[in-house]
Amino acid sequence: MPRACRWARGYSARNPVEGTAYYAFDAGERVRCIVLDTVNPHGGWQGSLDPAQLAWLTAELERSADRLVVVMSHHPLETMVNDRAPEGERRVLAGELAAVLLEHPSVVLWLNGHCHHHQVTPVGRVGAGPGAEGGFWQVTTASHIDWPQQSRIVELMEAEDGALTIACTVLDTAAPCRPPAGDEGPLGLAALSRELSANCWQRRDAIHAGAAGAGGRADRNVLLAVPRPAGRLQAGKVRQPARSRFFTSRAYALT
């Protein structure tokens, strides 16, 4: 595999040898990103893992106990229900996967899509005793075929006292909804893309009802508080959170 492709995609020499599409990479010195392959090769549009990938994920989480871990995948937790498998084999579904992630306090965020709308969901621990509090945030983002065709910036910000905040900012494109006549440049192509998004036949009724990909206010521009895993993360300054006029929702905290 060419070196440039390997670094750009995050894959390593292990992936083509094993026939896998899951991998992990570092985003700076203190954040570990773990990318899951949630597609079921046996069919169906919903997601799941095989046991081998779960074992790999567990090992990655154990090695990342002193880092902030961001999980990434196509499918969100609630759609990890695809149990299609040959006789004698099994698939790892939502409950088992959530239990593994919640066992590791270093997991603070899961980024995904699939559902074609913005949604922000807390995934908290249930029960009493040490480690029962807290959990992680699941941030689901619509695709660019979904009106109003928005993107999302996600930032991890840490205060000097160790308090961690996840800042989510939704961005609109600068392109108009109708392509300017004769404009074949980047803005014209972006406008054509917006026009296609506004007329997606699968979502037309939702678009007309004003309930397409944008979600609610609490699913877009938000500040999400995360409990710091006591004694597990190294001290260090990342960036202090600051209020911004773009954050129109109140801050939410896992309890």
The answer as to whether 221 is a domain residue is: yes
Q: Do 252 and 153 reside in the same domain of the chain? A: yes
Above 60 in pLDDT, residue 8? no
Tokens of 71: 């999980």
Above 80 in pLDDT, residue 20? yes
Tokens of 207: 């678009």
Q: Which amino acid is at 237?
A: K
Between 16 and 51, the more confident residue is 51
**What pLDDT shows up at residue 236?**
38
**What pLDDT shows up at residue 231?**
39
Query: How many angstroms separate the CA atoms of 240 and 247, rounded?
Result: 15
pTM: 0.83
CATH number at residue 91: 3.30.750
**Segment 198-226 mean pLDDT:** 81
**Segment 23-38 mean pLDDT:** 94
Nearest to 63 by CA among 99, 92, 26: 26
**In total, how many domains does the chain have?**
2
The answer as to whether 92 is a domain residue is: yes
Query: How many angstroms separate the CA atoms of 124 and 235, rounded?
Result: 24
143-172 b/e with 16+ CB inside 10 Å = b?
eeebbbbbebeeebebeeeeebbbbbbbee
Q: How many CB atoms lie within 10 A of CB 233?
A: 19
Domain boundary among 69, 104, 139: 104
For 6, how many CA atoms within 13 A lie in the half-sphere containing its CB? 8
Q: What is the dihedral of CA 241, 242, 246, 250, to 10 degrees?
A: 70
Which residue range forms the structural domain that includes residue 60? 1-104
